[in-house]
Amino acid sequence: MKLLLVGATGLVGREVLRLALLDARVSHVAAPVRKALPPHPKLDAPLVDFDQLPTDASWWQADAVICTLGTTMKAAGTRQLFRRVDHDYPLAVARLALAAGTRTYALNSAAGANAASRIFYNRVKGELERDLEALGFDSLTHVRPGLIGGERDEVRTGEGAALRILRVLGPVLPRRWRINPAPRIAGALLEAAIAAAPGVHVVTSERLL
Q: What one-letter code names the amino acid at 46?
A: P
CB 71 within 8 A of CB 125: no
The set of residues, in sequence order, having a beta carbon less than 8 Å from that of 101 and lying 6+ positions away, is: 61
Q: How many angstroms separate the CA atoms of 53 and 67, rounded?
A: 15
CB 44 within 8 A of CB 58: no
Q: How many angstroms separate the CA atoms of 199 and 196, rounded?
A: 9
Alpha-carbon Rg for the chain in angstroms: 16
Q: How many angstroms separate the CA atoms of 206 and 145, rounded?
A: 8
Q: Catalytic amino acids?
A: 121, 125
Q: How many angstroms separate the CA atoms of 2 and 5, rounded?
A: 10
Query: In Å, what is the CA distance from 48 to each residue of 41, 51, 58?
Result: 20, 9, 14
